Each structure stands twice: as C-alpha cells, then as structure tokens.
C-alpha cells in the first residue's frame, strides 16, 4: 500500500478511524439452483437467515432510536417485519420442497411479494426498495457475501465506497462517520455536497479506494485531499491539533458577512428542505441563497401536492423572518433525476439535455403549480422570497420565466447563471430579471466541458480555472445583484476572489459559513479585488490559487 493516497479534497477537516466499505450489489442467485436433497436442513438454513436479518434490522433500529432517529427505527422495524412474515416463510418452504436451493428459494419467494407491492399504488410501490433490501440481505447471508448498504459498526468509521447514493447517505449518523472516501465523484458531485452539508471531511475521485482492506485505520484530510493508511500516532495528533486550532479561530466568527473595511456581503445557506434549517441558523446564515427544491421530491413517483409544497416552502420562509429566501424551481434531469419528470427518451448527454428550466417547456403545469405554491407560502410572511430558474441560456428564457413568475404573483424573479452563453450575454439577461445567482458547479462543468459526475475529470471541474473566473466577471458586472451559490462560494479563498469580482452575496453549505465569514472579515475589498485580478491573470487553476493567496495575507491566521 503506498504511503499516501491522493484524490480531490471536497469537504474540509480531518477524520481518523477504521475503514468500512459499502459492499456492491448482491447478485441474483442462478435460476434453477437446487439443494443437495436434504430439504429440512435447507429450510432451516433459509429460515435462520431470514431470522438473523430481522434481528440485525431491529438492532440497527434500536441504535437509530438512541441517536434520536425515530423515523429511521420505524423503517427498519417495518423491514424486520417483512423478513419475519409467515407467508414469506411458507413460500420459501414450498420452493425448497420442490428442490430449489435456499438462496434461490428466498429470492423467488420475495418476488411474489414484490409484484404485489409494485402494483398496489404509489405508497406501497415505494416500499419495493425496502423489500429488495431485505431480500438482498438474506441472499447475501445465504451466499456468504458482504451485507449491502452502509455497514454496521460499533465504533466511528471512515466510510469508503465507489460512490454514495442519496439512499445510502440518508440513514447515516454524522456522529458515526468520521470521513467519506469515494473512488468516483467530482468536487461538485452530490456526494461532495452531502459531505459538506453534514460537516464530514471527504475525499472523492480517489482511485483504488475500495481496495483498502476493511478495518485498516486511515487518516483522511479533506482539505488536502489525501488518505494515509496506518498513520503514526504523531501524525494523527498533529492533524487533530491543526483542526482544533482552526476550530477555535472559528468560534469568534459571528455576525453578518463583511470585509474588513465594512463592505457587506450577505452570507446565506444552501438547503435541500426544512430539515437543513437548524444547521443554517446555527452557522449564522443571514438567509437562504439556494433552496434546492428537487431534493424534497427525489424519491417520488408522482408530483407532490400543492399543499405539500406550500408547507415545505412556508417552513423555510418562517425560519428567516428578517432575511431573504432564494428558492430554485425544480432542477430535474442529468445528475438530479426525478421519477415523476423523466427525460424525454434516451439522451446521449443528459447534462446537455432537457434539464432544469428546459424541462418545464414540456411541463408548464408543474412550473405553474410550484410558483403558485411559493406565492401562497410567501403571502403574509416577512421574509423576502426570491425565485430563480436553473439552466437558463438566453434572454428569451429569462423573460419567459419572469413572465411565469409575474403571473403567479412572485415579485422577485431571477435566474441562475450556469450556462456559459448566459454568462457571456449577462447584460441581455439582466434587463429581464431582478437578480442573478451563479451556479459555479454547472458553470465549471460547461465551461471546461467536464461532466461533473466523472471522477477522472476532477482536475477540470475546478472553479479556480481562470476561464470560469472570466465568466463570473460579466455576470457580476451586469448591474443587478449577483450572488454565487455553487460550491465555489464555500471555499474561503475563492470566496474573497468572488467578492473581488463584484459578487454581492455568497451562499454555501452551512458548515462552510464560519470559515468564509472569518476569511472575508480579515481582508479589505481592495485586497479581494487585487486577489481577483491576480487570479484572472493566471494561466492555470493552480497558479490562480497561488496568485490570489499572495494578496490575502491574513489567510495564514486561519491555518489556510
Ligand atoms: C450549481 O450548479 O452550481 C448549483 C448551485 O446547482 P446544483 O449543484 O444543484 O446543480
Ligand atoms: Mg446547477
């Protein structure tokens, strides 16, 4: 094993613990597999496996409840009941008596339930995934394979995976996971975004990560993007000391965002729903700069009702009575597929396909329903509601969106600047809407023609690329308020550069707020401008970073 493994650091901080790897999919046991002839013994093996799966799920449920995750316990207990279902046991027994091997018998018996559930309406159909998980656990046990999904552990661990699915991360307890390491994923993949939202250090795009043996202690540095297997005690102590020093500098980082000379830069939070409000408030967010509404509806096969939407929006508006809440309309497609808004047929390049606002041309009713729910949620609230569209390309699209907003009674329409064409013609778009918000994740993806989901292109998915900064400049200079809500805003050094380019607010995952606030208040607007000019004059992302830092002398006091 090499001394140190390098990937892309996407969520800062250090984490130390033993590796636990998410196992891959459990294969279907071959059709026609037969047991050796002792049906009674085979039946006993099968039923014991189901029983063990149920017991394991119940004990995971009890652990979830201890950490206050009552909903998690309910789901796990319901799964345990599926494993203990007497009808299922009868089905398994009947198959075994016909000669079928235990693993295949379990697989087929689950199949009968699966079909019943799948055809039984939306709520029950959604349980098919839970049922499949129970089946896979039983089959894995019978075939001697590792358990699928996030492994159980009695001690905090470093979670290693090829990539993380939203379903894997939903049940994670941040107190148990000390770091994420994945083979796939770029700096703007949703693994990275989730890691930052949870405040867990993370390294992505690390080749061979899943080859690290389970149980190996590793030291993960989410700032440097490194993973050191079997570190010495001194190395672990030094890493913990550095993060403790930074933590104490951050404790005094409070209040509204400003440069040292008093130039106000509101610092806002990126959220995926009401569940993220608490962390945003705790980190001192002055409002919400990006409400990713599609995160509310990721696992739905039908559109959410008007009332449901209104409630989810109202809760957020009420949490920031004196602030602003910038809501993004559904950004379905590409890296954020929504089951109830499928792409129109096979798209060879989903990132260049009908995603975001483009999809709403086919579904004007979905957009109108969302805008209507937003307008009703804002009625009578003091928070300022601003609504923006994702993936806008030109002035005509901006004008169309503004008209839809006006019709729904939304007073402050805006657009995201994510497409290079929109950035280059920002002046045209600025006359149609009230504000811009630059999505640097997609802007970088499109400027550098590097799919954000391809781990091997992490070096090109870097918002420090001078070409990306060249695209930020015209949007920030178009004469209307212009925030940044891509992950670039959460990089404390780049945040200073963005302010130097004329950006008027910054929105990021809650855990990034204190460090950005601390970096900004230590520098003047003029220093930020000089850093921005130096970065744009550089010829590579690396040089841009170095050049900017030379004009931001107080970064060192933050250990940056
Ligand atoms: C972006 O593209 O920068 C952005 C904020 O949107 P998302 O990451 O949700 O695509
Ligand atoms: Mg985007």
The rounded Å distance from CA 158 to ligand 1 centre is 27
CATH architecture designation of domain 39-143: Orthogonal Bundle (1.10)
* Rg of the chain taking only CA atoms, in angstroms: 25
Q: What is the pLDDT of residue 72?
A: 65
Per-residue pLDDT averaged across 367-390, rounded? 97
Cα(440) to ligand 2 centroid in Å equals: 7
485 lines ligand 1 (CB under 6 A): yes
Helix axes 102-118, 128-143, angle to 10 degrees: 180
What is the average pLDDT score of the chain? Answer: 89
What residue ranges of the chain are covered by domains with CATH 1.10.274.10?
39-143
Contact 204, 186 (CB under 8 A): yes
Better pLDDT: 522 or 123: 522
Write out pLDDT tens, residues 459-511. 899 999 999 999 999 999 999 999 999 999 999 999 999 999 999 999 999 88
| Whether pLDDT at 2 is above 60 | no
Residues of the chain with CATH 3.50.30.10: 5-23+149-232
CATH superfamily of 258-558: Phosphoenolpyruvate-binding domains (3.20.20.60)
Q: How confident is the model at residue 280 (pLDDT cuts 50, 70, 90)?
A: very high
Question: What pLDDT was estimated at residue 185?
Answer: 77
Best residue among 446, 486, 498 to mutate for probing ligand 1, ranked by most atoms within 8 Å of CB: 486
Q: Which ligand is nearest to the CA of 490?
A: 1
pLDDT at position 251 is 72
CATH 3.20.20.60 spans which residues of the chain? 258-558
- pLDDT at 173 exceeding the cut of 80: no
Mutate to test the pocket of ligand 1, among 292, 294, 415 (most ligand atoms within 8 A of CB): 292
The confidence band for 152, taking pLDDT boundaries of 50, 70 and 90, is confident
Q: Quick one: pLDDT at residue 124?
A: 61
The predicted model scores a pTM of 0.70
Please, what's the largest Cα pairwise distance for the chain?
83
What is the per-residue DSSP string for 267-317?
Answer: EEEEESSGGGHHHHHHTT-SSEEEEEGGGGGTT-SSPPPHHHHHHHHHHHH
Q: What is the mean pLDDT of residues 52-63?
A: 85
User: Rounded to whole angstroms, what are the CA distances from 325 to 142, 233, 256, 337, 388?
Assistant: 51, 46, 16, 24, 11
Tell me what the mean pLDDT of segment 184-191 comes to: 72
Distance, CA of 276 to chain centre: 12
- State pLDDT tens for residues 102-123: 999 999 999 988 887 766 655 5
Express each pLDDT in 121-139 by its tens digit: 555 655 776 788 889 999 9
pLDDT at 533 over 90: yes
What CATH code is assigned to 5-23+149-232? Answer: 3.50.30.10
pLDDT over 90 for what percent of the chain? 62
Is residue 543's pLDDT more than 80? yes
The pLDDT value recorded for residue 512 is 87
Q: Is the CB of 490 under 6 A from ligand 1?
A: no
CA distances from 54 to 24, 69, 172, 403 (A): 21, 19, 20, 54
Q: Evaluate: CB of 440 within 6 angstroms of ligand 1.
A: yes
């Amino acid at each position: 094993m090499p001394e140190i493994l390098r990937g892309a650091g996407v969520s800062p901080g250090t984490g130390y613990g033993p590796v636990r790897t998410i196992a891959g999919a459990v294969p279907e046991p071959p059709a026609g597999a037969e047991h050796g002839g002792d049906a009674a013994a085979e039946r006993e093996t099968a039923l014991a496996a189901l029983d063990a799966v149920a017991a394991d799920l119940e004990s995971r449920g009890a652990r979830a409840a201890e950490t206050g995750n009552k909903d998690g316990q309910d789901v796990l207990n319901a799964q345990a009941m599926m494993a203990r279902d007497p009808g299922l046991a009868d089905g398994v027994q009947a198959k075994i008596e016909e000669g079928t091997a235990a693993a295949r018998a379990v697989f087929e018996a689950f199949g009968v339930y699966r079909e019943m559930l799948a055809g039984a309406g939306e709520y029950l159909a959604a349980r098919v995934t839970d049922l499949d998980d129970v089946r896979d656990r039983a089959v894995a046990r019978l075939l001697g394979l590792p358990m699928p999904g996030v492994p159980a552990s009695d001690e905090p661990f470093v979670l290693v995976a090829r990539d993380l699915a939203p379903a894997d991360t939903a049940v994670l307890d941040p107190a148990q996971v000390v770091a994420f390491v994945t083979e796939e994923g770029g700096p703007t993949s949703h693994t990275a975004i989730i890691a930052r939202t949870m405040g867990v250090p993370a390294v992505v795009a690390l080749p061979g990560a899943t080859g690290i043996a389970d149980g190996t202690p590793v030291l993960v540095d989410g700032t440097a993007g490194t993973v050191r297997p079997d570190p010495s005690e001194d190395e672990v102590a030094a890493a913990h000391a550095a993060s403790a020093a930074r933590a104490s500098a951050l404790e005094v980082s409070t209040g509204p965002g400003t440069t040292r000379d008093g130039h106000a830069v509101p610092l806002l939070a990126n959220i995926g729903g009401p569940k993220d409000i608490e962390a945003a408030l705790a980190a001192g967010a002055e409002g919400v700069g990006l409400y990713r509404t599609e995160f509310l509806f990721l696992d739905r096969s039908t559109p959410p009702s008007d009332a449901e939407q209104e409630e989810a929006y109202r809760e957020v508006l009420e949490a920031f009575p004196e602030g602003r809440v910038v809501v993004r309309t559904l950004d379905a497609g590409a890296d954020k597929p929504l089951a109830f808004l499928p792409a129109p047929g096979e798209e060879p390049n989903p990132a260049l396909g009908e995603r975001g606002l483009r999809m709403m041309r086919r579904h004007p009713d979905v957009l109108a329903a969302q805008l209507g729910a937003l307008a009703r949620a804002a009625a009578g609230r003091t928070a300022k509601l601003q609504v923006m569209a994702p993936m806008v390309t030109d002035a005509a699209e901006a004008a169309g969106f503004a008209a839809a907003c006006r019709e729904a009674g939304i007073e402050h329409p805006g657009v995201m600047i994510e497409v290079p064409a929109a950035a280059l013609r920002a002046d045209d778009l600025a006359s149609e809407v009230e504000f811009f918000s630059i999505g640097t994740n997609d802007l970088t993806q499109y400027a550098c023609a590097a799919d954000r989901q391809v781990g091997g292109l992490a070096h090109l998915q870097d918002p420090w690329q001078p070409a990306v900064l060249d695209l930020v400049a015209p949007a920030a200079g178009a004469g209307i308020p212009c925030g940044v809500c891509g992950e670039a805003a959460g990089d404390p050094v780049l945040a200073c550069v963005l302010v130097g380019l004329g950006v008027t607010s910054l929105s990021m995952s809650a855990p990034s707020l204190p460090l950005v606030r601390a970096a900004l208040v230590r520098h003047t607007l003029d220093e930020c401008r000089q850093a921005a000019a130096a970065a744009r004059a550089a010829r590579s992302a690396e040089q841009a970073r170095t050049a900017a830092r030379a004009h931001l002398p107080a970064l060192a006091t933050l250990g940056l």
